[in-house]
Chain A
Amino acid sequence: MKIAIASGKGGTGKTTVSINLALALAAAKLPVQVVDCDVEEPNAALFLHPELKERAGVDLLIPQVDAEACDLCGVCSEVCQSNAIVTLAKRVLVFPELCHGCGSCTANCPHGAISEVPRRIGEVERGNAGAIHFAQGRLNVGEALAVPVVRRLREWLRDDCTVLIDAPPGASCPMVEAIRGADFVLLVTEPTPFGLHDLKGAAEVARELGMPLGVVINRADIGDAGVEQWCAREEIPVLLRIPFDRRIAEAYSEGIPLLTARPELAPVFLDLQRAIGAILEAQA
């Protein structure tokens, strides 16, 4: 089973849910993998302390123009959707940081004047944190394209265990790339107007992708009732409510997982996985 843990709003507790679900499964001797797809700021490793044994670079192929062969016809610039290659009166200019690496310019150049060169934008790593399989991606500072790193990370998703995909926040391309293909989307939110607003966007994406979804409300006993009311109206199940607890917040700030601070909560996370399993079974 692959569960994508996502949220519209950042800072709602995606990583908290991912790592504690993983810890609860591992403690119950169930095989589990955590894949941190929040490649702009991967932080699950801060809590799980994995031993990373394997590393691979993530490159984009960007165009290099042979000025001798180029006759400035401008086809490359016309086909580029990112304005990353521009044909000026006397030369062609490439903006590597705008290039998505689609290869259209190279494929369409009528003079074979464009070749492709790799440009490193990030890396992926994998290893183990005890019994937990772990993988994460990291986008280099200053880079804008998270999707290729997430896409590379997807190659490492396992088929032999419960996979927990810690998605990037938001509802745009990197989040879509992280959650697509998962069996279930777990949306973590907080009971505030901001949390509700961004939850709606993320839920819309999951529905557009035709994915079953459920909600976790973090700090559920503070804030307002808006999220609960909306979920009831939309018939989206609220699968877990995590209370606000200063002990949890303090442990988090020291890199200590919730289940280490409050081990009595482990059954709550096992119930969460069972509830997801039951929803998927009912649908099948």
Chain B
Amino acid sequence: MKILISSSGPTLDAAFNPRFGRADFFITVDTAGGEWSAQENPGLKSGHGAGIQAAQIASQAGVEAVISGHFGPKAHDTLEAAQIRMFEAHGGSVADVVEQFKSGALHEV
């Protein structure tokens, strides 16, 4: 399954960032094969609607689920419209969060 995680850095050992629209990077991971890629968050420069923009990135990346710390109402609505599932994590590295997701430990919004 392809998932997107909000991150503080561009690698799997970077710290998970609980802010969705205002995260520094987004890391897309394929949980089956382990392939991953990182992209900078253009929403850091947005005045408004950073969460919406982040949800659009997730939709265009074709992920089935996103993992962050909190989803604002507009990000939530956008992800719901895009039929992307939302999971909440608390901390650790991006790799830790991926493992938590795979083990079913994360809470689904």
| Residue A260 lies at the interface, judged by CB distance under 8 Å to chain B | no
A75–chain B nearest beta-carbon distance, Å: 13
Q: A82-B49, A84-B49 are in contact. Are A91 and B81 (CB under 8 A)?
A: yes
Residue pair A83, B59 in contact (C-beta under 8 Å) = no
Interface size range of chain A in the complex: 10 to 19
Residue pair B81, A95 in contact (C-beta under 8 Å) = no
Interface size range of chain B in the complex: 10 to 19
Q: Mark A193-223, 1 if CB is under 8 A from B, else 0.
A: 0000000000000000000000000000000
Stretch of B28-36, B50-58, B99-107 at the chain-chain interface: B50-58
User: Which residues of A have CB within 8 Å of B59?
Assistant: 87-89
| Residue A86 lies at the interface, judged by CB distance under 8 Å to chain B | yes
Q: How far, in whole Å, are A91 and B83 apart by their CA atoms in the complex? A: 11
Interface centre among B52, B60, B78 (most CB of A within 10 A): B52
Residue pair B62, A83 in contact (C-beta under 8 Å) = no
User: Which residues of B have CB within 8 Å of A18?
Assistant: none
Query: Which residues of A (144-198) have their CB < 8 Å from a CB of B?
Result: none
| Residue A77 lies at the interface, judged by CB distance under 8 Å to chain B | yes
Chain A interface SS verdict (over half):
loop
Residue pair B78, A98 in contact (C-beta under 8 Å) = no
| Residue A265 lies at the interface, judged by CB distance under 8 Å to chain B | no
Residue pair B48, A82 in contact (C-beta under 8 Å) = yes
Q: How far, in whole Å, are A77 and B78 apart by their CA atoms in the complex? A: 13
Residue pair A86, B62 in contact (C-beta under 8 Å) = no
| Residue A225 lies at the interface, judged by CB distance under 8 Å to chain B | no
| Residue B14 lies at the interface, judged by CB distance under 8 Å to chain A | no
- A77-B56, A88-B78, A98-B48 given; name 15 further pairs at CB < 8 Å: A83-B43, A83-B48, A86-B52, A86-B53, A86-B56, A87-B56, A87-B60, A89-B60, A89-B62, A89-B82, A91-B81, A95-B49, A95-B52, A95-B74, A98-B52
